[in-house]
Structure 1
């Protein structure tokens, strides 16, 4: 799993072994079952997630109970409720697993720490955010 994350990051920026060892030390691993919620609306969002395996969906349910799917996250994708994560507000969307999934979890605090200490990682997340906005528009 860590080798896959390193390859993912190094598509954008190279890392020394020591830098990567530090990066990976700030992640935790999470296994999820099909239909299990990763995030539910109106809950606190503390983490960003990188999908190592599996498939997740992010969606909003309107007042009539209709589901509006906003994003699918498959292997090698990042997912979170970024509005809630960045603004430290309750989740406005829900996320659940379409199939059994394994994730690497990066807390908001550890992400901030990484970005402050390793400019390479700050650049990595900036580029991933930009690519995510483009993907949403398409």
Structure 2
């Protein structure tokens, strides 16, 4: 799993063996089963997860207990409740495995130590944040300006493998439509 992390980081910032040895010492590997939570609403979120294998969904449940899928995360992606992680507050969301999943995670204290010790890693996380912010803006603009069919086709275009791995009911929840509406579009 650590080779996957090193290759991932090296795409943005090159690392020496010594630098990566330090980085790896701050991460922990963990496996989760399908249906397991990495964290649940109301908990402290002190970990930032790198997905080596598997698929997760980040969800928010409203006051009517309706599930809203904030996002999916698969191999080579980072996930957390970033607001809760960075502010060290309780999460309003849950992170759930849709498949058996292997992750590497870094705790908040180790994260702070890492970015202070290796400025190039701070640059790495900044680059990842930029791309995440751009993706979030595209999703917001799409939800404001596109109909369901267009949003579904944009999803397929951006993440073709996701559509094969996620049940239609989950894709519908992510797009903010009913399962029936999505079925009519995909027929």
TM-score higher than 0.5? yes
Q: Secondary structure at the match of 2:92?
A: coil
Q: Secondary structure at the match of 1:30?
A: strand
For 1:7-66, what per-residue CA distance to the aligned partner results, in whole angstroms no more than 9, with x for missing partners? 100110000000001101110011000000111001011100000000000010011111
In structure 1, what is the Cα distance between the partners aligned to 2:34 and 2:14? 34
In structure 1, what is the Cα distance between the partners aligned to 2:79 and 2:107? 12
- Which has the larger share of helix? 2
Match of 2:131 in 1: 131
For 1:70-108, what per-residue CA distance to the aligned partner results, in whole angstroms no more than 9, with x for missing partners? 110000000001111111110011110000000001001
Shift of 1:135: 1.2
Match of 2:158 in 1: none
Greater Rg, structure 1 or structure 2? 2
Match of 1:78 in 2: 78
Match of 1:88 in 2: 88
Shift of 1:3: 1.1
Stretches (4+) displaced over 4 A: none
In structure 2, what is the Cα distance between the partners aligned to 1:33 and 1:81? 20
Structure 2 counterparts to residues 104-119 of structure 1, below 5 A: 104-119=104-119
Structure 2 residue runs of 5 or longer lacking an equivalent are 139-187
Q: Secondary structure at the match of 1:105?
A: strand
Match of 1:68 in 2: 68
Q: Secondary structure at the match of 1:96?
A: strand
- Which has the larger share of strand? 1
Match of 2:19 in 1: 19
What is the TM-score of this pair, normalised by structure 2?
Answer: 0.73
What RMSD in Å do the two structures reach over aligned CA positions?
Answer: 0.6
Match of 2:155 in 1: none
In structure 1, what is the Cα distance between the partners aligned to 2:137 and 2:20? 32
The reply on whether 1:29 has 2:29 as its aligned counterpart is yes
Q: Secondary structure at the match of 1:99?
A: coil
